[in-house]
Structure 1
Amino acid sequence: MTSEPAIRELLRLDAAHVWHPYGPMPATVPPLLVEEASGVRLRLADGRELVDGMSSWWAAIHGYRNPVLDAALAEQASRMSHVMFGGLTHEPAIRLATTLVDLTPEGLEHVFLCDSGSVSVEVALKMCLQYWRSLGRRDKVRMLTWRGGYHGDTFHPMSVCDPEGGMHALWRGVLPEQLFVPTPPSGFGTPVDESYVDTLVRAVEEHADELAAVVVEPVVQGAGGMRFHNPAYLRVLREVTREHDVLLVFDEIATGFGRTGALFAADHAGVAPDVLCVGKALTGGYLTMAATLCTRRVADGISRGEVPVLAHGPTFMGNPLAAAVANASLDLLSEGTWRDEVRRVERKLREGLAPAAAVPGVVDVRVLGAIGVLQLDHAVDLAVATEELTSRGVWLRPFRDLIYTMPPYITSDADLELVTEAMVDTAKVA
């Protein structure tokens, strides 16, 4: 345990110099100082332990200090930590790309390794735009998406985030203006709304000549509002985009690798996009890495263009350390126990969050796979909620009107009970 004077000095330096995500400088809510993490627990410098119900922003699906992932990282570091990917290649990246092709929906054959999820969306949009330019269709430059989405914080992905409710409204007039249809009707298992189907179809039909792609988060809209929708709408999009010669992009950065109960959210619909983005859980939360996959059609189209290369190349593309730990994480998933784990987590979340339906101010309780959400009729006071949660030994990061959890798949029943009880009680005071 770190001494009290050392903790105070570190937090003083943090407040003076460190700009944390989605916060002012200096921060108005002081961060907690983490000293160690193991299993599903974060040990703070002051000795307290918190159950991490966030999987470090949905990435640490196997928990912390997993012996398999630790060993993969150490073994790779003993041979090569990094080498440039331009003109060179290596076994961890080759194996990772091959495995991703095998695991993802059929037809995705080519893999571009990226630095982060937001960059993978940036690359996906660039792929779509460059594809149509290579075919001489320079009029196809716009994207269509539905409201309530979130696709990252880099420039072009911000343009397909929700233009009103999201944090990127600040950039209206600077970002490219994309086309938006209403938010898909809520509910994973709710009946298909035929009028909404008509809205989707009509939007693509009317704008097909200017559309490069339709870009959506399949089944679960993440940071835009933690909404679930019927997978049937993905089948509608696949049919209408194929019919009208528009590319289809699925952003599975949050949903990929088992989070919704299927390996990929697209599997719920039984369809494959032209371009797929994955990230977050790709490395089990150990290192930043993402990937953009595309079909042979997209790759061939770009390769036939006036500029026959994809105009993108991150310095740390294909980093061997990240690729090696990603391979180890995917190997753990290939053992198949994750399905049982996610089903167990889903069951415990349903049981534990059910009492929240009777709490004043809670307007919705929803669970899908290893995702549990309480939606309130008012914005959550982050400082009050954090104090309440940490006092109960739980780490969550509420936002807007949501108190939610996306825990590691290995979280025990007892710890899931701790998390859900803390969520319900926090809904009463936050």
Structure 2
Amino acid sequence: MAYSTGTLAQGCFGKVYRQKYNDTWAAIKKVPQQLIDRKDLERECEVYNKSDHPNIVKLLGNITLEGGKWIIPLEFISGEDLETIIFKVSKSKIQLTPSNKGTIIIGMCEGLLHLHSKDIVHQDLKPENIMVEHDTNRAVIIDLGLAKFFRHGLNSAVDMGNEAYSAPEVLQRSSQRSRRSDVWAMGKIIAELCARIRLYTPSVCPDKIKETLRDQPFCHAVCRMVEPNLTRRASMTEVISDIRRAGGTGVVTNTPIQREHLKPPSPHVHARNRSPSPLNRAPSPFNRDLPPLNRSPSPLNWERSPRQNLRALNPRPALHHSPSPQRTEDRKKNQALVPTGGADLTQDFAKMRLYQEAAKDLPCSLPATGRVVVRRFEEKNGGVETWEQKEVVTRDGKIVKYNDVKFNNK
């Protein structure tokens, strides 16, 4: 393991460093041995193993004991936390456009939904514990050290979360932290992200959210999330559709990927994923008893689909011929988004090819003005194996943004 190149964060349980780990950058969490017992460490490892998702930070290998400190190798997110984005605008590199804001909010809610589907309560959701990746705006929930399993009303850890993002029933000590208290914390985070202000915790309620967000897209969903009455508060399963809808003016879907839609990876590209190099394990009794990880130690493999060089495309002479009835019908159907010709046929043809590429495999037609986001994923052994997101933003009949991001954890 290489020497540290810088401290990323510091908390009551230790520090996080940016270091090289198995030839890739990682966020190495170092916790003094006396600050965390073996049982809690085993629970943390199990939480990471069960929460394999693009919006949850990834454990890269076994936890080891070196120099009296537990060494926890985690995925390094090249970005910044929400605390910086919301409250330290001058230091942030991320522009909170409506589109970026929607991507961030949907991502962190998808991550929390996945945790809850695995009976995991985060316990300590706050802006500092949500990272946003530069370039992709992928939101990643981090710091699962206090996360606990919650089954049949019983939990595997004590309540130790931040009071600034604690639900009313937690502050009143009338209930332990649960999935619903996580939902309340996420609702407050979304409201602060949308309004760019710090909300006073005891004042947070549906009326306060309506006063703060007014008619903003996420207002209705957040009101359901911060409902003081625990029995009437929405779960992530109940509110996720509202979140996805509010994240864009188009249609947002979340459907499983069909294997034939994904191009199989070439052997030389993903050879490391299939045959990972052995982890450098320090001699520790914890290593011998730690349950093995059911995943490659390599970091998340994000890749963008290659775009065609549209400028190099030239129209064929056939474009000057009279169109067939079928082509005329298709042209009329999409005339709001595809140029109908003009002096520069090369430019028209390029725009048509871009439209065809963007509209491919979408469950709906592209609106003249709006945003369409489609997510597809494939799960295997309880974890996300492949994941895709296509985003198309249109304005006045023109495509102003097009992203096609793919994740492969095979």
- Shorter-chain TM-score category? under 0.3
TM-score (norm 2): 0.26
The structure that has the greater radius of gyration is 2
Higher helix share: 1
Higher relative CO (Cα under 8 Å, sequence separation at least 6) belongs to 1
